[in-house]
Structure 1
Amino acid sequence: MKTFKARGLLAVIILSAALAGCGVQDKPGNQPGSTAAPTATPSPEPTAALNEREAIIYLTDTELAETIEKSVKLQYETDTDLVKAAIAELQKDPAENVLALWQPIEITSVELTDGLVVLDIHLPDEARLGAPGEMLVIETLKKTLFQFDFVQGIQLLVDGAEVETLMGHVELEYPMVREQE
């Protein structure tokens, strides 16, 4: 009877060891003779919560006679991101009977420092307009960016340089400043 109990006890020990071994996964650090350290799962990086703001983007009618307001929702993390999002909206293809004068203009860089937006652009030939169009390009930019309280001025550069006029018709201010109400 002692051998029966000993065999039973031995069977329980072997079964317990086998069941305990089932929980071990085949990872490099768990293999016999392996020198690799077990890999840790990377913790997900915290993502900044995006802010959302409703803003007005200023476009123009097809006759270049007046500006047209378009309400949009902008997502951003910082004030600089908000300015970039607004400029990106100025460049989007608008609805029928509306023109986005900023669409063909290439944005080289956008910086915001102490309330001054420095916008460097490149003007391809198809972006060049007559005097009324040039005035509207400047007006739509100013109206769009000056709606943000933190924007106090806009420095508009063409290919990295200050120019007297954007397209040869309207003299530019350096910087263009928010008009006092």
Structure 2
Amino acid sequence: MSKFKNRWIKLFLLVVGLGAAAFLLGAYAPIFNQQVENPAGNTPEPLSQGAGEETRELVLYFSDEQAMCLVPEKRQVAVQGDNIGEAVVKELIKGPESHLLQRTLPEETRLLSLSVRQETAYADFSKEIKNSNYAGSAGEIALVYSVVNSLAEVPGITKVQFLVEGKEVETLYGHIDTGSPISPDRKLVKTGTP
């Protein structure tokens, strides 16, 4: 009788053990599958995105160290809806990521608005865009064409009209006519990246 009782106890423990194992396997299966798919656990973190945002690759143009030409810098940015042009200008204001490139817009500059009509982007900047540190001809050329060439990378934009505090300005620093829309100047672009 005791042998029979011992078999039932062993069978009972085996069934309980298998049930517990099945439960744990079910509970930890997603973690197990994730580790099998990515054993090193080195999945890159996705860019933080809000509702309606999509990651876009932007091509931004910054000045080289000598302010002689513009150099493209690619950047992955979360963009809200169709506001690609706004994202471009805001990234230009942030400045380059490469230490080999120079910022082209004063850091304190704000983009007040950007609208596109008939392939012309109307970029309205705060008065800080007229920072005297950029007043030389090389600085003004870098500033203007950094904005124009970068925005011209956006589909549907071929020219840029500069506005300051909602008004057209004949020139920012006296060297380039900004009173009418400006087309990109590809001759200023240095091929290759820093």
Distance 1:125 1:106 in 2: 9
Q: Is the 8 A contact 1:76 1:85 kept in 2?
A: yes
Judging changes above 3 Å, is the alpha-carbon distance between structure 1 residues 161 and 167 closer, same or farther for their aligned structure 2 residues?
same
User: What secondary structure is seen at the aligned counterpart in 2 of 1:176?
Assistant: coil
Which of the numbers 147, 162, 168 marks the counterpart of 2:168? 162
Structure 1 unaligned blocks of 5 or more = 1-46
Distance 2:156 2:108 in 1: 24
Report the count of equivalent residues: 132
Q: Is the 8 A contact 1:58 1:67 kept in 2?
A: yes
Higher radius of gyration, 1 or 2: 1
Distance 1:149 1:110 in 2: 18
1:137: how far off?
1.0
Distance 1:127 1:159 in 2: 19
Query: Given the two structures, how large is their TM-score scaled by the length of structure 1?
Result: 0.63
Which of the numbers 86, 89, 94 marks the counterpart of 2:88? 86
Q: Is the 8 A contact 2:116 2:157 kept in 1?
A: no
Identity of matched residues, %: 21
Q: Which aligned pairs between 1:16-165 and structure 2 lie closer than 5 A?
A: 48-79=51-82, 81-94=83-96, 95-104=98-107, 106-114=109-117, 115-121=119-125, 122=127, 123-165=129-171
Aligned to 1:26: none
Letter in 1 for 2:76: K
Judging changes above 3 Å, is the alpha-carbon distance between structure 1 residues 168 and 104 closer, same or farther for their aligned structure 2 residues?
farther
2:172 paired with 1:172: no
Q: Is the 8 A contact 2:94 2:107 kept in 1?
A: no
Distance 2:183 2:95 in 1: 28
- Whichever structure has more helix as a proportion of its residues is 2
Runs of at least 4 residues of structure 1 off by over 6 A?
none
Aligned to 1:16: none
1:177: how far off?
4.3
Q: Is the 8 A contact 1:101 1:127 kept in 2?
A: no
User: What secondary structure is seen at the aligned counterpart in 1 of 2:167?
Assistant: coil
Query: Given the two structures, how large is their TM-score scaled by the length of structure 2?
Result: 0.60
1:108: how far off?
4.3
Distance 1:75 1:118 in 2: 22
Q: CA RMSD in A?
A: 2.2
Query: In the TM superposition, what whole-angstrom CA distance separates every residue of 1:24-61 from its partner, at most 9, and x where no partner exists?
Result: xxxxxxxxxxxxxxxxxxxxxxx743222112110011
Q: Is the 8 A contact 1:75 1:82 kept in 2?
A: no
Judging changes above 3 Å, is the alpha-carbon distance between structure 1 residues 126 and 173 closer, same or farther for their aligned structure 2 residues?
closer
User: What secondary structure is seen at the aligned counterpart in 2 of 1:137?
Assistant: helix
Judging changes above 3 Å, is the alpha-carbon distance between structure 1 residues 124 and 156 closer, same or farther for their aligned structure 2 residues?
closer
Letter in 1 for 2:58: A
Judging changes above 3 Å, is the alpha-carbon distance between structure 1 residues 111 and 96 closer, same or farther for their aligned structure 2 residues?
closer
